[in-house]
């Protein structure tokens, strides 16, 4: 986008006069054009519709000296032409976000769940209990719970994290092997 530009009262007044000599009608016209610009940007997939509409209006205001004397016709059409260029610039700068992956089929989820159950059963009882306890809570309760768990086990919280990481890594390897066997 273009760099910021300060709008003087004089420039804004000239802009409104260009939209309509009647100040009240100019204000209404301004709002109509702005709403239409937002709608155009939004319908074309931009989540920054209001910002792009404001940028479009600012660019038109910057050119008011030249426009007021030479432009003939409906001012809204000029805005829409500038909006096309603003949108093109915005699209060039915005990275394309790939669509989310397709969800796994229910059979795949069932296989993963069965494999997780089998691998959890194969863990040593203390490691199985550690996994169940370690992932028991959410958000702040999770932090408090893990501190309490480390204290009950008589180890430092960092040692608990390392132990849980190693157990989870072994569990993940087991689940992946089980899934590969199940897919054959």
What pLDDT sits at residue 1? 46
What pLDDT sits at residue 73? 84
CA distance 15 to 75: 10
CA distance 130 to 149: 9
User: Residues of the chain whose pLDDT is less than 50?
Assistant: 1-2
Return contacts of 125-128, CB within 8 angstroms, 24+ apart: 127/167
Per-residue pLDDT tens over the stretch 70-107: 888 888 999 999 999 999 998 888 777 788 888 888 88
Q: What is the DSSP string of 6-73?
A: PPPHHHHHHHHHHH-SSHHHHHHHHHHHHHHHHHHHHHTT-S-HHHHHHHHHHHHHHTHHHHHHH--S
With a CB cutoff of 8 Å and minimum separation 6, the contacts of 57 are: 33, 34, 37, 79
Overall fold of domain 106-183: Arc Repressor Mutant, subunit A (1.10.10)
What pLDDT sits at residue 4? 58
CA distance 183 to 110: 12
Q: Which of 9, 7, 26 is nearest to 18 (CA)?
A: 26
> Dmax over Cα atoms in the chain, in whole Å?
85
């Amino acid at each position: 986008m273009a760099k910021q530009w300060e709008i003087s009262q004089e420039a804004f007044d000239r802009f409104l006069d260009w939209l309509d000599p009647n100040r009240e009608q100019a204000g209404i016209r301004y709002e109509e054009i702005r709403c239409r610009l937002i709608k155009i940007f939004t319908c074309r997939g931009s989540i920054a519709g209001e910002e792009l509409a404001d940028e479009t209006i600012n660019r038109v205001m910057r050119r008011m000296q030249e426009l007021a004397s030479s432009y003939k016709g409906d001012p809204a059409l000029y805005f829409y032409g500038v909006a096309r260029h603003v949108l093109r610039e915005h699209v060039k700068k915005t990275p394309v976000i790939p669509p989310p992956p397709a969800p796994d089929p229910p059979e795949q989820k069932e296989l993963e769940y069965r494999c997780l159950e089998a691998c959890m059963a194969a863990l040593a009882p203390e490691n199985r209990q550690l996994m169940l306890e370690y992932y028991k809570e959410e958000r702040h309760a999770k932090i408090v719970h893990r501190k309490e768990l480390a204290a009950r086990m008589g180890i430092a919280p960092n040692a608990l994290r390392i132990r849980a990481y190693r157990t989870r890594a072994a569990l993940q390897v087991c689940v992946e092997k089980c899934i590969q066997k199940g897919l054959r």
